[in-house]
Amino acid sequence: MIKKIEMNKRLTVLAICLFFFTAGVVSAQRLISLQPARAIELALQNNEAVRKAEKVLERAKANLRVSKAVYLPQVGLTGEYQRQRDGDIDERDYLTRAQMSVLLAQFGEIPQGLDAAQEEVRKAEIEYERAKKGTVHAVRNLWHNIILTQEEIEQRRAIEVELKEKLKGTRDKHEKKRIRYLSRLNTELELSEQQLALNELQRRLDVDTAELIRLTGLDPLAQVALSQTLPDDELTLDTAVELAFVNSLDLRDLRGDIVRQERLAAETIWNRFPELSAEARYKDLHVLLEQHQQNRTWDAKALYDPVIFDRERDVSSVFETNPRTQDAWEVRFNLNIPLYDGNKTANLRSVELAELERLQLEYTEKTKLIRVAVRRDYRAVANAKERMEIEEKRLSIREEQLRTIERVLDAVRFDIPGYQGLTFNDAFQSQAQFTEAQRVFYQARRDYAQAKEKLRETMQWIE
């Protein structure tokens, strides 16, 4: 009795553990219904490639803010302490100044550091958009593959059910000696071909679904169900070309390069501008005009540096030579006018203009290549669609031919013009032709879907 109670307790604990384990598996493998827009949204939020490109863009923007920090007010504090001893005389000196400066204006060339930071941001934005477009196209391609695989599985399963019923009847007829054994083998072969195709499709569906889950960042244990197919794009060739021009990131990059190069060509004129510097000072307030030779930039800056704590030494000390404060005003101006620079400015301008013309030619060449690529892929879609329709007709013909041959071989007397003298070799050949027609038709459907997405990728259209 005790052993029986102990055994019941163990079974109860085991049942509870099994219940929680099963409940955990079911909850972990919850079914998620996805729509195309939601799948794309999740991929853009969670895909690592997009997130990495986003972080690169954030880093570039942070570097740009670092380069622009000089245009914001600068505040600091300077302290000074000195001490000397001469015999019995011990002198100490304390001085503390506040420093506040702000760049009032800047003219001339854009500084190289700022220009490089701006270019880094522009390039990072383009790469970020490229990563997003690539992710969207990947999701759409997977969506097509999964939908077509599911449709093919459904259609082949319907054929499998029919073949099982047919095989059952064939076996009954064979046992009753009404048909030959080869007829039964032919049916079994046809059923095996369908089951092999179903198994391959199921494995393919598993891999594509796992890839879709990876792209969207869903739980790897989740079960995903796609709710709808992607709609067809009703576009004319001219519309497709215009969309390609609007969405092309390569053209966008070249346009940015051209705008920057136009600015660089115009900035060469600053090499002929006089070199000058100036300073106006009244007490602790300075207004400075400084030139940076490297960037050909002139900065107008205001500086205020009042003394906030002062304890002066003996003015007779050899260490004290400059006054702590100025009660008067002071103005300084320096001007250097270049008369001849050995044609340096003209040659620099020729260099920048030649690069500008090269970029403009590259832009023109790129637009022509895009126009041709869109036309080629647009025609490829039409070709793939026609091929799919032809293969669908071919499949229907092969199926009807196979079923007719089977009826002729199974019947005692079944006279159809053109089908006299049939053998089981004809049935085997017709079966192989039907199986091949199925494979070609389903592949033609996939080729059509891929051609449509290839056109979208060429257009770089993700709407």
Cβ neighbors of 240 (< 8 A, separation 6 or more) are 374, 378, 455, 459
pLDDT tens for 63-105 read 999 999 988 898 988 888 777 777 666 677 778 888 888 888 8
pLDDT tens for 338-360 read 888 888 889 999 999 999 999 99
Tally of structural domains, the chain = 1
CA distance 63 to 58: 9
454 occurs within a structural domain: yes
Indicate whether 9 pLDDT > 60: no
Single pTM value for the model: 0.80
**What local confidence, expressed as pLDDT, does residue 416 receive?**
60
444 occurs within a structural domain: yes
Q: What is the CATH number of the domain that holds 455?
A: 1.20.1600.10
pLDDT tens for 130-158 read 999 999 999 999 999 999 999 999 988 98
CA torsion 155-161-163-166 (nearest 10°) is: -140
The full length of the chain comes to: 463
For the ranges 13-17, 179-183, 207-211, 433-437, which has the lowest average pLDDT?
A: 13-17
289 occurs within a structural domain: no
In this predicted model, which residue has the larger pLDDT, 425 or 216? 216
Look at residues 170, 167, 147 and name the one whose alpha carbon lies nearest to residue 159: 167
177 occurs within a structural domain: no
**What local confidence, expressed as pLDDT, does residue 429 receive?**
82
Indicate whether 455 pLDDT > 50: yes
**What local confidence, expressed as pLDDT, does residue 431 receive?**
79
Indicate whether 42 pLDDT > 80: yes
- One-letter amino acid identity for 322? N
Residue 293 corresponds to which tokens in the numbers above? 């030779």
For residue 376, the tally of other CB atoms under 10 A from its CB is: 12
pLDDT tens for 228-265 read 888 888 899 999 999 999 999 999 999 999 999 999 99
Domain limits for position 397: 232-274+343-463
197 occurs within a structural domain: no
User: What integer best gives the mean pLDDT of the chain?
Assistant: 83
Cβ neighbors of 357 (< 8 A, separation 6 or more) are none
Q: How confident is the model at residue 7 (pLDDT cuts 50, 70, 90)?
A: very low
pLDDT average, residue stretch 41-54: 94
330 occurs within a structural domain: no
For the ranges 117-121, 152-156, 163-167, which has the lowest average pLDDT?
A: 163-167
Residue 93 region by backbone torsions, left for phi larger than 0, else alpha for psi between -120 and 50, else beta: beta
**What local confidence, expressed as pLDDT, does residue 435 receive?**
84
pLDDT tens for 325-337 read 666 788 888 888 8
pLDDT tens for 376-412 read 999 999 999 999 999 999 999 998 888 888 777 766 5
295 occurs within a structural domain: no
**What local confidence, expressed as pLDDT, does residue 93 receive?**
75
268 occurs within a structural domain: yes
**What local confidence, expressed as pLDDT, does residue 224 receive?**
87
Strand partners, 92: 83
**What local confidence, expressed as pLDDT, does residue 420 receive?**
59
